[in-house]
Structure 1
Amino acid sequence: MTIKDTPEEWEIRATDTPFVGNKTSVRTDDVVMPDGTVVGRDYQVHPGSVAVLALDEADRVLVLRQYRHPVRHKLWEIPAGLLDVPGENPLHAAQRELYEEAHVKAEDWRVLTDVYTTPGGCDEAVRIFLARGLSEAEGERFAVAEEEADMELDRVPVEDLVRGVLAGELHNNCLVVGVLSLVAARAGDGLDALRPAQAPWPARPFEA
């Protein structure tokens, strides 16, 4: 048997959107189960995101420390952001986030992995890129505000991040998945065998 996720959509008898926010909304669908019963399913509707595991020549990952109010923590994360425009090319969005959050550019881009962050309660899809060949971006730094105004920036060795993940000290989804995917890719066919940066992404189709 091939272990592979497959698209499928069960019948929806009714749908409602009781909350609409600036970036996301909440939807309630009445879904027909396999036994014929109809149950309500509430979930957050999300535009999708990109994240960047930026790896430098010293085998360090560029990380940010930012306050996240829902979990009441300052979390170490990798650069990430929303797909603000429907159909936006995720590579372009990732390059923008790396520039805005770290004032860094990269020469080599690959798709590290694609994930649904919380598929039981949110339809958010995230594409995590591997970026190598890092250098300082030209021009002025992007102006930051709100939580980002308090953001810290560092570069941390991969092995230290792996230790922190397995010790339960690092919790950000994209950082955890990205770092462990990096280690797995190295142990497998190598980083150059990763998918190209413009690889198709059925969860969030885009134009190259």
Structure 2
Amino acid sequence: MTLPYPTRRVTDPAAARALRQDHAFLSRFLQPHSPSDVAAQLGMAANLAHHHARRLTELGLLFEERREGGRVYYQLTARDFAVPSDLLQPGEAGGNGTELLRELGPAYERAYLRSWATMRAGDEGHCIFGDEAQPAALDLQPAQDVSDEPYPTHSDTLTLRLTSERYRQLARDLSRLITEAAQEGAERLKTGEEGEPCTFVLFALQGTLGDEGDFQGVARATDSFLGAE
């Protein structure tokens, strides 16, 4: 069946948010489907799937394609939705870039606390006082035994001076590793290999994370429970 629109321009912020937040759900309606069938595929309650479908229809993203045997079949109104970049401002919930930051912080904190509770239970730190020229140093290095933590939390932050060309090259090189991992993940899905969802995030930005003044050197902060290789 021909879709109502080959390309549809989105002008409603609510529809733009739904495209971001319900992308996985919407992608199931490239062909006409009942929300009950989609619910079974996604492991969600059927009544919730029907509620989502009706809401997305009101927003103009889905349309009711037909009714058959007491079942309602929905389909995307277009395959291509054009969303103006300024429709959702960065500071707005669901806006460009900031939604990831809002989700990433609490998710990383939960994972970090889980690793800490698994690997640091019973550890003791040392607060060592030197002379007046050496302030107290608090040593709380992660434990090296990683046997009890199958997915240890890891972060590695680097600040250094780079030319624009080197900055771009380094960011692309690191992203290439993530692309390779994404391709590997797609192959694992085909073979049905089991595992747990894992998230890797790459940020690159000009500037420092704090007030470094006239930054000259190289600063690296690693907070990891991976342990030594």
| TM-score, length basis structure 1 | 0.26
The structure carrying a bigger strand percent of its residues is: 1
Greater fraction helix? 2
State the structure with more CA Rg: 2
